[in-house]
Every structure is written in structure tokens, then in C-alpha cells.
């Protein structure tokens, strides 16, 4: 199969492209800087329709991972990378006749802040999503799934808190804050949180490429299925990196009000 992976310079994009190459697919990657992967490479911004058109041409399937995932930044940057970029990918898929599009989303697109346990993938909600990243991804997921139809099967996959070797988003930030003493534990640290190891997330995305067609027009949540207390997850990451685990605790809830009981959560 001929598959385009956008955002292959990122940890998950690179792992997914590598998995596709290892099983014998003909892979093209699109990102702003060289990936170093042994495949066809198109350099460009995902919001640049001309660059996206060049990358999508001749592809059977597209795995769209490229996004701005920072926790801070101007709304215009999220709008360009996440919303306009996704629209460019959808338009290019339609123009080139690519039959499958797997859009990599986030559980946060349907999470308004309450604890979630064992629930399915609710609809993306830009108004209820918290933060610019989540809001922009929610808008983009809606746009991607709205393109689902007879000529283009679209599937949204929401990996939850992906981590692994070379992670600069989750692990690196946790470790750096712990090293400088700026990483507190919120509440008791007993709230459960699920994560996804990068190889598992990549395997799920490869499976989504294969399933897209018979399964389409919906969103799926992916995780390890092994929720652990937040304090344990942070402590293990810190020990693996050789930095002290946080000892300072910050009360959860409004001042003057008792903290609510811990519950399993995901976003």
C-alpha cells in the first residue's frame, strides 16, 4: 500500500512511518524538516496546499499526524497548523483520489474537565474543549469526519498521552520540571490516568489504516488500558530519568473547599 504520513519528524509520526516501512508499505512522509527515514520525503508545511498536493498525489491512504501540540501559543498558530492543515489534507485527498484518511486526534477534543471512566469516544466539542490545542483539534476532527463518504473513508483515532523514547512533549517536560523543582503533585496523586506507549499507538494507527474503509466515519480512543495513579506515573518517569520525584503537593479544588474524591480520568 502507498501511504503518506504527515508529521514524521515527531515521535509518533516517525514510529508509525517506520512500522509501515517495516511491513513493506511504500511510504511518503511530509514535514517541515528532514526526517532521515528511508522513504520518499516531501518537505513543506501541512497548511501549504501545494506541498500537501505533491505529497498526497498517488497515495492509497493518508495518516495525518502533523499538528501544533504545544500547551501555549497564539490561537492563530493552532488555527493554521491544526485546522487549516487538516483542511488542506482533506482537500488534497479528494483531489488526488486517495481512498483512506486516518486523522490523528486527541481524547481532549471531547473532554470538558470531568473525570471519565470506561466511556466511549464522545463527539468532538470545540465549545467544551479546554485549551487552544484541544479546541483546534476538535474543529479539525469535525472537519475530517465531515469529509467521510463513498470516495473517501475517514477514521479519527485519539491516542491518549503518548510517551516513549525521544519524547519531547510529555516525558521531557515532566523530567525538566522535576529537575528544577517545579513539578508538584495535584491533590493526593491517587487519581488514575491512562497513557499509551508510542509503539502501541503506532500499531493502532497502522491497524486503523488497514481498517479504514469497512470502519469509517467515527472516532476511536486508543490507550494502554492500564490506568495508574498520577503520582506513580510521574514517580516512575522521574526515576527512569534519574531525577527526584516531586514531593510538593498542591490541593485540588477551590480554596476553602475540600478536594473531591479521586476518580479515574482520561483526556
Instruction: Please answer whether residues 151 and 97 qualify as being in contact, where contact means their C-beta atoms are separated by less than 8 angstroms.
Output: yes
Name the phi and psi angles at 248, rounded to 5. -75, 140
Q: What kind and span of H or E run contains 154? A: strand 153-159
And the C-alpha cell for 124? 468532538
- Catalytic entry in 78, 103, 133, 197: 133
Instruction: Please answer whether residues 31 and 11 qualify as being in contact, where contact means their C-beta atoms are separated by less than 8 angstroms.
Output: no
Residue 30 pairs in a beta bridge with 6, 42
Environment class of 257 (CB within 10 Å of its CB; exposed 0-12, middle 13-18, buried 19+): exposed
Question: Among this protein's residues, is 78 annotated catalytic?
Answer: no
Instruction: Please answer whether residues 184 and 256 qualify as being in contact, where contact means their C-beta atoms are separated by less than 8 angstroms.
Output: no
Catalytic residues: 133
Amino acid at each position: 500500500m502507498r501511504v503518506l504520513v504527515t508529521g514524521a519528524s515527531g515521535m509518533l509520526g516517525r514510529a508509525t512511518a517506520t512500522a509501515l516501512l517495516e511491513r513493506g508499505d511504500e511510504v511518503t512522509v511530509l514535514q517541515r524538516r528532514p526526517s532521515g527515514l528511508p522513504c520518499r520525503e516531501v518537505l513543506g508545511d501541512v497548511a501549504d496546499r501545494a506541498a500537501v498536493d505533491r505529497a498526497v498525489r498517488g497515495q492509497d491512504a493518508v495518516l495525518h499526524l502533523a499538528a501544533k501540540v504545544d500547551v501555549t501559543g497564539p490561537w492563530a498558530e493552532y488555527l493554521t497548523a491544526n485546522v487549516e492543515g487538516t483542511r488542506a489534507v482533506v482537500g488534497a485527498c479528494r483531489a488526488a483520489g486517495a481512498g483512506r484518511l486516518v486523522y490523528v486526534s486527541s481524547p481532549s477534543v471531547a473532554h470538558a474537565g470531568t473525570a471519565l471512566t470506561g466511556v466511549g469516544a464522545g463527539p468532538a466539542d470545540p465549545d467544551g474543549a479546554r485549551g487552544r490545542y484541544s479546541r483546534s483539534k476538535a474543529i479539525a476532527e469535525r472537519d475530517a469526519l465531515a469529509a467521510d463518504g463513498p470516495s473517501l473513508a475517514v477514521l479519527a483515532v485519539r491516542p491518549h498521552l503518548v510517551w516513549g523514547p525521544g519524547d519531547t512533549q510529555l516525558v521531557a517536560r515532566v523530567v525538566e520540571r522535576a529537575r528544577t523543582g517545579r513539578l508538584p503533585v495535584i491533590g493526593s496523586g491517587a487519581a488514575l490516568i491512562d497513557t499509551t506507549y508510542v509503539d502501541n499507538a503506532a500499531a493502532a494507527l497502522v491497524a486503523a489504516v488497514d481498517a479504514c474503509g469497512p470502519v469509517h466515519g467515527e472516532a476511536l480512543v486508543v490507550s494502554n488500558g492500564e490506568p495508574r495513579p498520577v503520582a506513580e506515573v510521574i514517580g516512575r518517569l522521574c526515576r527512569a530519568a534519574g531525577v527526584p520525584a516531586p514531593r510538593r503537593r498542591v490541593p485540588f479544588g477551590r480554596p476553602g473547599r475540600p478536594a473531591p474524591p479521586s476518580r479515574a480520568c482520561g483526556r
